[in-house]
Amino acid sequence: MHDQFQLPPPSSWEKFERMCADIFAIEWSDPSTQRHGRTGFPQNGVDVYGYTRDGRLHGIQCKKKNGGTASSATEKELREEVDKALRFSPQLSSFTFATTSPNDPDLERVAREITKVHAERNLFSVHFLGWDEILDKLWQHDGLVNRYYNWALPYGDPNNYAFGLWCEQFSSHYLFVNACYLPFRSYQVSFQPDFIAKLCSFHNESEILLDGQRTQGLDEKLRNAIDNFKRVASDLIDSAIVDCSRPDASLDVYMYWVDKGNLPYHRQGDYVEYKKEVLKYLFYGLILAANYIIDIKNKISRSRTPLHSYVNFRADFDSPAVNSIPMYAQQDMDEGMLYPGLEWIKEMASRGKSDPVLEYEKAIEEMHKKESLTQPCWRTNRSQ
């Protein structure tokens, strides 16, 4: 049995469903346990189902929450999925709401209360299973731990562990879509809120997941490269959420909507462009930081050909120009001069602007600080 430690949830809902199916196939002693239906078709609240030896049918709703353990399931979600499961045929004997959000005593209580009501109507029992409980079940089966988290096991190469931890969250294609295509595809800067949530989750959890016990012998350049990525991610998170965002009806994304404060209309143009350029610099900087991690890992592997693909970049999607692969200059890498910081980016973005955009930004920040001191604590939304 492996020594237990906290692991991040799977990177996709599909993988989370497969993991739940594998865990409960063993728990129920039913190798025929399977995932129910497919995307786009009604599933009546059940993603996985199977039978125990006594012939009883059990169902699971697998709810992967964005942002890993930082996001929480709600009572509303639980009750809605229970109501859907009432329509599942044949009738279930038990229904489990399994989620990557943390254990929640309140939702466990709600599940017990629903079970009591259901018992009076001869309906299925209801159970809430948070991520910690799912991990407890996973750790009981070495084969499943190896299948889903081989890269994270402490007995392996610490470089593979650290890179695997990062790559599990941020594949090259995923970064291209979220740090290049969406932010740079049009005049408006857009991004997926799920991507920002994942950056936030990685930033919060990586210090625990990359502790010294599991990363003894980790290449220092790789450790520094991951820390560099975290620094860019931190500034990107702050910059993406400090202003306003508006949904784009055509895609599951948010448009970056610059908070212009009390600036008169004729002063807004340069400021809006400056704020957008800062955000684009940060998205581009994230790709630079990602490619540096990949480059260090490829060099550690000592293979003649790269084992891990780099993240491509295109600044203009209306142009047939070939994708480039952004990289830090070799001299900067040798000297450890990587991400220059947010203040440097702001300075670069402000160049060429006729208006004093840095002063505008400071004034708007001060205005909102004063507003926050005078508004009641329950008012959290800024007026548009």
Q: What is the pLDDT of residue 69?
A: 40
pLDDT of residue 94 exceeding 80, the answer is: yes
| 189-215 pLDDT per residue, tens | 888 888 888 888 788 777 766 766 667
At 77 the pLDDT is 93
Q: Please write the tens of the pLDDT for every residue from 324-351.
A: 888 999 888 888 889 999 999 999 998 8
Closest CA to 170 of 306, 311, 282, 281: 311
* Helix, strand, coil percentages for the chain (3-state, nearest 5): 50, 10, 40
Phi then psi for residue 183, to 5 deg, are -70, -25
What is the rounded distance in angstroms from the CA atom of residue 377 to the CA atom of residue 184?
A: 37
CA distance 70 to 193: 14
Amino acid at 133: E
- Is pLDDT above 80 for 375? no
Q: What residue spans of the chain are helical by DSSP H?
A: 13-27, 75-85, 105-120, 131-138, 142-149, 158-169, 172-176, 182-184, 193-209, 220-242, 268-301, 330-335, 342-350, 357-374
From the list 149, 144, 74, the residue with the least C-alpha distance to 104 is 74
Greatest mean pLDDT among 164-178, 195-209, 237-251 = 164-178
Residue 373, pLDDT > 70, answer no
Inform me whether the pLDDT recorded for 377 exceeds 50.
Answer: no
Helix (H, G, I), strand (E, B) or coil at 58: strand
Strand order in the sheet with 190-191: 190-191, 253-257, 244-248
Domains in the chain with CATH codes? 13-145 (3.40.1350.10), 154-374 (no CATH)
Q: How confident is the model at residue 382 (pLDDT cuts 50, 70, 90)?
A: very low
As a whole number of angstroms, the distance between CA 372 and CA 365 comes to 11
Tokens coding 321: 């120009």
Provide the mean pLDDT of the chain: 82
Per residue in 24-45, pLDDT (tens digit) is: 999 999 988 888 765 444 567 7
- Of 66, 47, 384, 76, give the one whose Cα is nearest residue 244: 384
* Model pLDDT, residue 70: 43
